[in-house]
Amino acid sequence: MKRQGRKLLSLVLALCMLMCMFPGVGMPVLAEEPAADYVMFSDDFENYGDAGTKLTEDNSKWDSTKGIGEAKKDFEVAADPKDSLNKVGKLWYDNSAGDSSGVMQITKTADRPFTEPVAFSGRVLMPEVPAGKLILKMQAGSKYQNVLYIRETNGQVRTGGTYKDDFGIAQENEWVYFTFVVAPNPDDWDNCSVTGYVSGGTGDSNSATTPANKTKKVTQQSVKFGNYNGTTNIKFWLEYTPDAEGTGTVYIDDIKVYQASAFTMEAVKTTNVGVSESVEIRFNHAADLTSFDLASDVTVSVDGGAPVNAEVIYDERQPDRFTLNFPSGLSADTNYVVTLDGEAKDVFGNSIYNAARFSTGEGGAPVYDEIEAITVGYDAPLTQELDKIEPITFTAATIPATNVDFNKVEWLVDDEVKMTGKTFSYEPEAELGDTVITARYADDHEVSDTCTISVIEPLPVPAEGITVLPESLELWLDYPLDITPRAWFEPEDATNKTVTWTSSDPEVATVDPDTGSVTMLKEGKTTITAKAADGGYTGSMELTVTAPLNRTEKDKLNLDPVASGESRIDLSDFIGLPESVGEAKIALWSGDKTVAYTITVDDSIVDDFVKWNAWNEGVSSEQLAKLDESLGAERAEKYHTAYGVPVTFFVPIQNYVPGQGDEGKTYTSNSGRWLEQIAAGHSVQSHSQYHIDGSVKNSTFTTAMHIEDCLRSKNTVNELTGASGNSCLTMAMAWSGGVQEIWRQFYIAVRGSSDGINPPGKINYNNVSSFSMNGGREPSHMLQMMENALNPESSTYGSWICLHSHGLDYTALENEELGGKKYTSDIFEYVYRDVLAPNMDKVWTGTFDAVAQYGQERDTAVLTVVENTSDKIVYTLTDEMDDTMFDHPLTVKFRVPDDWTQVSATQAQSGGAVTLPVTEKTVDDKRYVLVETVPDRGTVTLAPAGSVEPEPAETVELTASATGAGVVAISGGSTGASVTDEVELGAPVTLTATADANETFLFWVDAAGRILSREASYTLTPVSG
């Protein structure tokens, strides 16, 4: 089964003979023959004895066999499960009692250091998948890396240190063939690379069909070998760990570790090849079959003559060989040359060094009949359009039809001989004109036949139908931008796409007959129709024009971006407390926090909702495992705690455009899951109507389609969630697609991507910067973002930090800072625990829409103190934003007289007086109040309780509502003399307000150092009268 290749034929003797024949000629310069591959280690398990033979360091090629040789686990020779005549290695573990702690290792130290690239090749088979974890490791110095890694959870085949890509899923009872090349980097040993080639029994991660045995190539950079000194010999080993039940079997075979300096090939049989015989060609090691097409990039020619008709047969599971068949046969006593396309590479990246040669040898020449006539047939049109060129295969039919030498049939393009044989494939040049193809037989006499290929101008493609997109649109009369629908033709490449546009009611809206640009004139409905010049096909858009918004500078939907170097606000006006009695400041962020922090989640990863609900509800690991048994206890562990940080879900509507291909996925079919998130305190916003590639959207959408992309997604989210109180005010760009000036007409803010830092006063609310949380990101960077935003000396002090992710367990990426491969959910946990929890007194964790509201209200707000006396302070708060969409209260900070207590804030709203939330605080013996005030709602009056005599203390019974492990801690009392206690969650809490002062109590939950809920203040006010 495992045959060795022969050495290349040397040309030295022939050259020496030439020197003797031509003594006057100078000595030629000979190219140095490449060195043979250096094999550090190989094991094909053929020479150890019969199946069942136990393998140890004493009787095998391996230096050590650890954790092997017990009754429950061993390393032995076995029959190949797919070929009983072949012997392979077998690692097995059988301890059904459940002890899965055993790790089996077979190791080998090579006799060379890691100074040149090293290739590891072989094959592996698992009868069941997953059947434990198999790793092929390489060690250089004190560091090792996983070269081949088959995951224990699902049989996923991976390589390298960062796991950014994989080779698919190992299929049960199928051989997976691999070659991995690890390349050194002496200048930076922590930036080496590993390139893997895997073929055979794998399927892709989505369980879709992969082309049979197709090779997949993955390169990983930044493979780390620490402070390797470049001299220690490398070591490698196979490590097998059984599955969670303590059982598993894995077969290995054809293990080979080698280095190579050149890429060569030769024929297995070089002389006396029969004229009807196939020829096998062997490379000196594995070719990179992703770098070229072996089926079409091999050329066989008569030595010094034309190419011959040859068919290449190969199997990507054996990338070191291929076979040549000759449908027209070979000529007797003829030398042949086999060459590869110059793009062909081996797994080390070397180009092919030489050509392979073989000869049909002497004697045995068949006797052929003379060809009396030739007729040329073909399998594609001879007349081809310039934009639709396709290859043509020509076939020579002869009289007589059999026992003729097709190797004497020449194929000519115009007058140039291109090939000999029975068939000839040719792709016309993409230029107008004629090309003559000739099949010619010339021996004792000449016969021939010709065909003429004509490349012509493209012929018209008739239209078969037309669709106008969007099919309907509803806009307000004073919408300020262009409205142009798109006429979508069937077929898409129809030649004449000329249409004429009309409006059914020109008094409501007119349309440019040539461009389709619509002008709205009054409220009402009209049908905008496009009629194709070719065929008269029509399509239409129903347009509804609603009342104008009459938006002014005092009711903006969003703010214009600021020029570079400028700011909308002076930060000092918002930081700190006011100095004089009656003086006021608006807080930079809600609750007078220094930083706003938003976590957003894109798309609609269905599998994540079990985990989100677990976080929301504090479900235990055991409960979660029962809810979704596929998670297992290990993954479920990290979801058992509810953190209480609000998240913004950006939801796309669908990933296809009607009329532009098959219908795809719809994301909002289950609105219940969104209502669950809203009930838990999260927000649901838009991720556009069409979640498609941004470059496609930007290149194919007209303005009306961009309008629909924004408007319909907003309306859909509101229809699904509006009853819950959720309002769709913002959007996240999908794949960077869309037009900023258009989405500004519909949303108060739009999230983009970038570094996630949005300095106050400079925020571009139409493209808010957001940083990705996906698992490979460096957590230390997220911590640094927070530290900078809290540092008064930093240029990003007081920023809005925005993060985004795509699913919790979407992909596990190597994360060195967190100790290995991590899911995005691990990054969430890090952010909650190490970034937010220590800073909750300085950070407002708000939803994206809430922060966008607050920031723009603040940036345009005008705070005016109307009256300031010892008895009351009266003020107004206005802004320039649209009050129908901006209703988030701004935190207004007042310095009040030091003798004021029980301060009330009453706003004279149009529907009657409303009491506003007030928080009292004393700093350096000075009295302050924080009043939550919505702009443009009316005059606000602050006043102390004055001489009102409180009634005796009242007892109020509250119940802690947080869930999960831990206790509720209660402290407070504005006088500092009230209760401090801890109670079990769910237990009643009794608080008593003293008779002469309001008491403010602060609740929080502390479990293992994690912030599990946002702080909340309760003021118990004795009521007089």
Report which residue type is found at 224: K
Inside any domain, residue 554: no
Whether 706 and 727 map to the same domain: the answer is yes
Whether 174 and 244 map to the same domain: the answer is yes
Structure tokens at 842: 């300085």
Whether 498 and 386 map to the same domain: the answer is no
Three-state DSSP class for residue 281: strand
Whether 871 and 976 map to the same domain: the answer is no
What is the rounded CA–CA span in Å between residue 14 and residue 30?
12
The contacts of residue 542 (CB under 8 Å, 6+ apart) are 471, 472, 473, 525, 527, 528
Q: Is 420 exposed, middle or buried (0-12, 13-18, 19+ CB in 10 A)?
A: buried
Q: Is the dihedral of CA 803, 807, 811, 817 positive or negative?
A: positive
Inside any domain, residue 275: no
Inside any domain, residue 880: yes
Q: In angstroms, what is the C-alpha Rg of the chain?
A: 39
Whether 244 and 124 map to the same domain: the answer is yes
Whether 150 and 94 map to the same domain: the answer is yes
Whether 577 and 514 map to the same domain: the answer is no
Three-state DSSP class for residue 909: strand
Report the mean per-residue pLDDT for the chain: 82
Whether 920 and 827 map to the same domain: the answer is no
Peptide bond into 950 cis (omega under 30): no
CATH of residue 216's domain is 2.60.120.560
The contacts of residue 274 (CB under 8 Å, 6+ apart) are 330, 360, 364
The domain boundary, picked from 456, 484, 507, lies at 456
Inside any domain, residue 287: no
Three-state DSSP class for residue 712: helix
Whether 77 and 136 map to the same domain: the answer is yes
Structure tokens at 719: 């229809």
Structure tokens at 169: 């899923």
The contacts of residue 829 (CB under 8 Å, 6+ apart) are 638
Our count of domains for the chain comes to: 6
What is the rounded CA–CA span in Å between residue 331 and residue 404?
11
What residues of the chain score a pLDDT lower than 70? 1-32, 96-102, 151-154, 160-165, 203-212, 244-245, 362-366, 607, 610-611, 614-644, 655-671, 775-776, 810-812, 821, 946-1025
What is the rounded CA–CA span in Å between residue 226 and residue 723?
58
Inside any domain, residue 360: no
> Kindly report the CA angle at 884 between 878 and 889, in degrees rounded to 5?
50
Q: Are 711 and 833 in contact (CB under 8 A)?
A: no
The domain boundary, picked from 883, 911, 943, lies at 943
pLDDT at 144: 73
Domain that holds residue 494: 465-546
Inside any domain, residue 317: no
Inside any domain, residue 346: no
Phi, psi of 617 (to 5 degrees): -105, -5
Whether 616 and 634 map to the same domain: the answer is yes
Inside any domain, residue 355: no
Q: Do the strands 999-1007 and 1016-1020 form a parallel or antiparallel pair, or are they unpaired? A: antiparallel
What is the rounded CA–CA span in Å between residue 821 and residue 826?
10
pLDDT at 867: 96
User: Could you tell me where the DSSP H helices lie in 663-702?
Assistant: 672-679, 694-700
Using CA atoms, how far residue 83 sits from 78, 198, 201, 257, 843, in Å, is: 11, 21, 15, 24, 65
pLDDT at 979: 36
Q: Are 916 and 577 in contact (CB under 8 A)?
A: no
Whether 917 and 771 map to the same domain: the answer is no
pLDDT at 266: 94
Number of residues that make up the chain: 1025
CATH of residue 523's domain is 2.60.40.1080
The predicted-structure confidence for 195-220, as pLDDT tens digits, reads as follows 989 988 776 433 333 455 788 888 87
pTM of the model as a whole: 0.59
Three-state DSSP class for residue 217: strand
Burial annotation 787-796 (CB, 10 A radius, 16+ → b, else e): ebbbeeeeeb
Count Cα atoms within 13 angstroms, Cβ side, for 317.
Answer: 14
The domain boundary, picked from 456, 481, 497, lies at 456
DSSP structure class, residue 888? P
Whether 780 and 657 map to the same domain: the answer is yes
Q: Are 458 and 387 in contact (CB under 8 A)?
A: yes
